[in-house]
Amino acid sequence: MSEEEKVSYKEFRKLHKGRKQKEISELWAAYKEGEYTFQTEESTEETVSETPVEEKEDVTEEQVEEVQEEPEEDPCVVFNRATRRYARWSRNWSEEEIADIRAKLKDLADKTIVKGYTCTPTDSWKLWEGPTPESLLINYTRNVAFIIDRDWWQRTYSGAVHYVDRSLLSSNELIDIEKRKYAFRKRLINRYPLEGVEIKLPRSRDEYQRRSGRHE
């Protein structure tokens, strides 16, 4: 589909009427990246008129039993993927698109966070970093650990060094021990924390100075 043939987000939603908003948001993100294509109403009518109708075979009960349902994707994986897409593409999105993805992220976060979890700007944080990109970010105040990666940290809260106890390790052994400990307590979250909601560290030098009372 050429640039001229691409539809607007409003038209896209209309053409996908009947689908859940979460699914529409995922398809729209993939469509903008060129990873998803679909037929408009006009092209569908042309295709239907030109394509011969195939006779459907009767499906036996045995065949139905053999069909395996596709497992639902891990919501933590969906959350991280949506977070990366938001960070990369949101500057080109409309306000409506941004509102949709933020609502989706909030919904996924609510489904995967420890029950009763809250966060304040004064919470105590610990960051464990090893030789691999995967890292462990722990809210010691709430006793909850998040599995993150180095790219996410550098993109979001790397400027909050004065608010985070950071440890650089030569191996992942201690990180793995901590992960097992929090997993056993059911306090391990296999995704990034939701920015501004589940983590409230300063993201810039100015924000750090304001919080410290040193901003002129």
Helix (H) or strand (E) run with residue 155 in it:
helix 150-156
Residue 201 half-sphere exposure toward CB, CA atoms < 13 A: 24
DSSP conformation letters of 60-119: PHHHHHHPPPPPPPPHHHHHHHHHHHHHHHGGGS-HHHHHHHHHHHHHHHHHHSPTT---
List the pLDDT tens digit at each of the 216 positions of the chain: 545 467 777 787 888 777 877 778 778 777 777 777 776 655 444 444 445 555 555 555 555 454 455 567 899 999 999 999 999 999 999 999 999 999 999 999 999 999 999 999 999 999 999 999 999 999 999 999 999 999 999 999 988 878 899 999 999 999 999 999 999 999 999 999 999 999 999 886 666 556 665 444
- Rounded to whole angstroms, the Cα distance separating 145 from 190 reads 9
At 25 the pLDDT is 79
What ranges do the domains of the chain cover? Answer: 7-47+72-112, 114-212
At 83 the pLDDT is 95
- Rounded to whole angstroms, the Cα distance separating 160 from 158 reads 5
- Rounded to whole angstroms, the Cα distance separating 27 from 13 reads 10
Does residue 139 come out as left (phi exceeding 0), alpha (psi in the -120 to 50 range) or beta? beta
- Rounded to whole angstroms, the Cα distance separating 65 from 49 reads 34
* Contact between residue 201 and residue 195 where contact means Cβ atoms under 8 Å apart: no
For residue 121, the cross-strand partners are: none
Q: Please count the other Cβ atoms lying within 10 Å of the Cβ belonging to residue 170.
A: 8
Helix (H) or strand (E) run with residue 184 in it:
helix 173-184
Q: Please count the other Cβ atoms lying within 10 Å of the Cβ belonging to residue 52.
A: 5
